[in-house]
Structure 1
C-alpha cells in the first residue's frame, strides 16, 4: 500500500481554519508531502473512477511529471489572457495557505493548462469546454521529479468548514488514487475510419498563400489542417499517454480534460522555461523525415542542415525569438548554427536561446511576447495572423498554443501544443501544420503534414 510520509491532514486543516476564522476569508489550502513510489499512469487512470477532470504533463527529458486529478480552482480568461491570468494568480496566492514536507519547487499550488492559439477567434462546438485560457489547480497532484514522489492536496477552507468531514473525504479519495485496483487491459482499439478534412481545398490554400507572399510584405504563413479519426470503442486516454511516453522521446507529453473531451499530444517544441529567472527558449523549425537506416538518417539530417528553404524558415524563428527575448531579458546567448533534433518520426532544425529575465518580468510575460512564433503563425506576426483569421477554416482552439504549468513564483515551463489531438469518446480530431513560403510546393507541404499526424495516429493504434 502507498502511504504518505509525515503530515497530519486534519491537523493542517484545523490550523488553517483558525487563520480563516480570523481573516473571515475563504482560503486555498495546499498540502504537499513525500510519498513512496507510485505508477503515474495508474494514478491518472484512477482519477476516472472519481469522475474528475484529469491533467498530465511530462517534460521532454521525462524528469519532471505532474498528474492532476480534479479541479480545486481554475483561472479563466477570454480576453487579455496573459495579464488577466497573471493578476488573478497573484491574488489567489495571497489567500493560499501552503504546508509542504520540503521545499521542492515542483510541489505546492501549481497551475496546469493552456492559452488559445488566437483569443480573437470564437470557440465553437469542436472546442467546447476549452474556451479562452484555462489553468487548473488540481485537487490532487502527483509530482515525480529527481527528488522523488510527492502528493499535493489542494482544498478550500471557509470559516464554517467542517474539518473532520473534509479530512475524511480527502483521505478516502487520496487512498483511491494511491492504491487503485489493478487495471484490466481493454485490448486493441482499432481505427475504423480516417477522414481528411478538405485536402484539395487545403492545397489550393497553399497556392493562394504563395501568391499572397509574392504580392505582400509577408515571408511565411503557417497553415494547419485536420484529420478526423473514429475508433471502434471509446478511447482510453491512459493507453494513449502510455504510447506517447514510450514512443515519443524528447517530447513534452500533455493531456487536459474538460467536459468529456481531452486535448492530448506529444510536442517536441519548448516555448519557454523559466527557473529562478533563468530563461530557456528553443527555435524548432525546418523538418525532414527519419531515415530507414543509420546512414540514410544521417544523410537526411545533413540535407536538412543544408536545405535553403528550411534554413531560411528556421532563421525567421530564431530572429523573432531573439527579439522577443531581448525585450524582457539580458545576457542572451544564441548559437550561430542550428543542430539536428531527432524524434521518432521526424527530425528538426534546433537552436536553443538562453537568457536572464529582467526585473519585473515573469514566465507569463515571456509567453505573451513569444506566442505565436513564426513556426506556428508565420512572419511577420500581425500580417500572418490577419491572413489566417480571414482564410483558414480550421478552428485551432488550443492547437499550436502555449500549454504548460507555473508555480507560485512563476517558475514553470510551456510547450507549443503541436503533434496533438482532441479526443471525445470514440472520435478524435488530429491537427498538423507546416510553414508556407514563396517557393512552397502544395504536394510537398501536404506530405509533411501527413508525417506530422503520425505520432498521434500511432498512439491511437493506427
Structure 2
C-alpha cells in the first residue's frame, strides 16, 4: 500500500485539510495472531502505535493525520480537532464496534506549563482484536474508500539494541531523595496532604532501539498492563485512568505500592501488610477521592468500593480500586480524561498546591509522562491510561525513563528511592538492563 502524505493541521476546518476516507472490515482472528508481531519496523519510533493488553487491543502504523497542541486548553483543542475530522470523514465500517471506524491514538502532556506537545495520531493501518472479533481499519486522504484487505503477516523480529547504559537525569539519586525529604517537611506543616515526585533516568544503547523490541518484551513480562506506543512514548501502564463504552465509564485507581520479592509466600505476607498500611491506605484514599469527585460531575450514578484490593504485578503490588459510573452529559472519553487529570495518583492533594511543589522540587519537565495516553473513536468511546512505566525517545539510541512515588506524611526517602527503582524496572528490563 502506498502511504499518503500525513496531514498535520492545527484546526478541524475542511478548507485546511482533505477529508479522511476510512474503511473497517472484519477479519478472522487466525489471520491476526500476535498483534505486536504485525508491526513493521518503523523508520522513526513515532510511526507505530500500540494499545495491547493480554493479546487484545490495537496496533497501527503509518500516519494519515497528526494534531499537536500545548497549553492549558490542549485537551479542548485536541477534542475540537477530532470532532471536526470525524464529522467530515467518509466512513464505511462493516464492524461497528467501539474502536472501529475512525480512530485516533493520543498522548497528552502532563502539565499545562510543559513545552512538550500533546498529540493525536491517525494511523494509516490499524489492526484490532477483542475476544472472538478482529478487524482491520485503513485510512487515506484519497477520494475512494480503501479496500482494507491488506495482507496481515508477521514481520521480522526486532534487533537487540546491544549494551545499554543508564544514568541519572536532572537530579541525582541523592538529590531526588533530598527532594522527597523536603516534600515530607512541607506536608508536616499542613500545607498539603500528598505530593507525587517523579525522577528520570537516561538509557543509552549501543545500537538503534527498535520500539517493537520494547513492546514485545513488556507484553511478555507485564501482560496485565496496557502496552502502549504513541508518537515516541513507549511503556506498559497498569493504571486505566478512564474507559468509556456506550455510556459506562470506569476508572482504575492505583496508589500505594510495595515491591515483590519473587517468593510467593513472602509476597503474600507483603500483600497483607500493604492492605493494612496506614501510610499506603491514606495515599490510596486521596487518589480514589480525587477520581470519584471528578467523575461525579459527569455521571448520574457512581459506584466507589469502600476498600481497595491488592493488584499483583510482576515487579510490584499496588492498592487498587475500580470506580464505575453512568455518564449523563455526553462527555467523550478524552473530556473525561481531562476532568480526571491530574489525579492525586500522579499529582497529589490539594491538586494546585501539589502541582506547585512538583514544579519546584522535581527540576524537570515531565513531558507526556504521567499524562493520559490511549485512544478514542468517532463516537467518543475510548480508553485512556496514565503514561507510567514508560520512556520517551530522545534519539534513535536513547530514551528518557520515568518513575514517580506518592509522598505523604509517613514517607521515608530511602523507601521512596527503592520504590522508584522498582517502578523503573519494567523499562530497564525491556532494554536489557
TM-score by length of 2: 0.90
Is the 2:242–2:337 Cα contact (8 Å) retained in structure 1? Answer: yes
Q: Does 2:398 align with 1:427? A: yes
Hey, what does 2:105 align to over in structure 1? 112
* SS of match in other structure, 1:76: strand
For residues 89-139 of structure 1, what are the alpha-carbon distances to aligned partners after superposition, in whole Å with 9 as ceiling and x for unaligned? Answer: 22212211111222232211101011100021223xxxxxxx2x2111111
Greater mean alpha carbon deviation, residues 338-347 or residues 31-40: 31-40
Q: Does 2:189 align with 1:208? A: no
Which 5+ residue runs of structure 1 have no aligned equivalent? Answer: 1-22, 124-130
CA shift, 1:83, in A, is 1.6
* SS of match in other structure, 2:292: helix
CA distance in 1, matches of 2:46, 2:286: 42
Q: Which residue of 336, 340, 348 corresponds with 2:318? A: 348
Which 5+ residue runs of structure 2 have no aligned equivalent? Answer: 1-14
Hey, what does 2:156 align to over in structure 1? 183
CA distance in 2, matches of 1:293, 1:314: 25
Q: Does 2:60 align with 1:68? A: yes
CA distance in 1, matches of 2:382, 2:337: 11
Hey, what does 2:52 align to over in structure 1? 58
Could you say which structure has the larger radius of gyration? 1
CA distance in 1, matches of 2:338, 2:173: 32
For the aligned residue pairs, the C-alpha RMSD in angstroms reads 2.5
Q: CA 1:184/1:334 → structure 2, altered by over 3 Å: closer, same or farther?
A: closer
Is the 1:249–1:344 Cα contact (8 Å) retained in structure 2? Answer: no
Greater mean alpha carbon deviation, residues 445-454 or residues 138-147: 138-147
Superposition map of 1:168-317 within 5 A: 174-175=150-151, 178-179=152-153, 183=156, 186-187=159-160, 189-191=162-164, 193-197=165-169, 198-257=172-231, 262-317=232-287
Q: Does 2:388 align with 1:393? A: no
Is the 2:250–2:324 Cα contact (8 Å) retained in structure 1? Answer: yes
Greater mean alpha carbon deviation, residues 267-276 or residues 196-205: 196-205
Hey, what does 2:12 align to over in structure 1? none
* SS of match in other structure, 1:108: coil
CA shift, 1:26, in A, is 3.7
Superposition map of 1:4-19 within 5 A: none
Q: Does 2:86 align with 1:93? A: yes
Is the 1:63–1:146 Cα contact (8 Å) retained in structure 2? Answer: no
* SS of match in other structure, 2:343: coil
Q: CA 1:224/1:98 → structure 2, altered by over 3 Å: closer, same or farther?
A: same
CA distance in 1, matches of 2:244, 2:284: 23
CA shift, 1:442, in A, is 1.0
CA distance in 1, matches of 2:313, 2:136: 32
CA shift, 1:151, in A, is 1.4
TM-score by length of 1: 0.84
Q: CA 1:185/1:398 → structure 2, altered by over 3 Å: closer, same or farther?
A: closer
Is the 1:32–1:153 Cα contact (8 Å) retained in structure 2? Answer: yes
For residues 237-290 of structure 1, what are the alpha-carbon distances to aligned partners after superposition, in whole Å with 9 as ceiling and x for unaligned? Answer: 212111111110211110123xxxx21111111101010010101111000112
Hey, what does 2:23 align to over in structure 1? 31
Q: Which residue of 14, 35, 42 corresponds with 2:37? A: 42
Hey, what does 2:431 align to over in structure 1? 460
Q: Does 2:114 align with 1:121? A: yes
For this pair of structures, how many residues does the alignment match?
414
CA shift, 1:389, in A, is 2.0
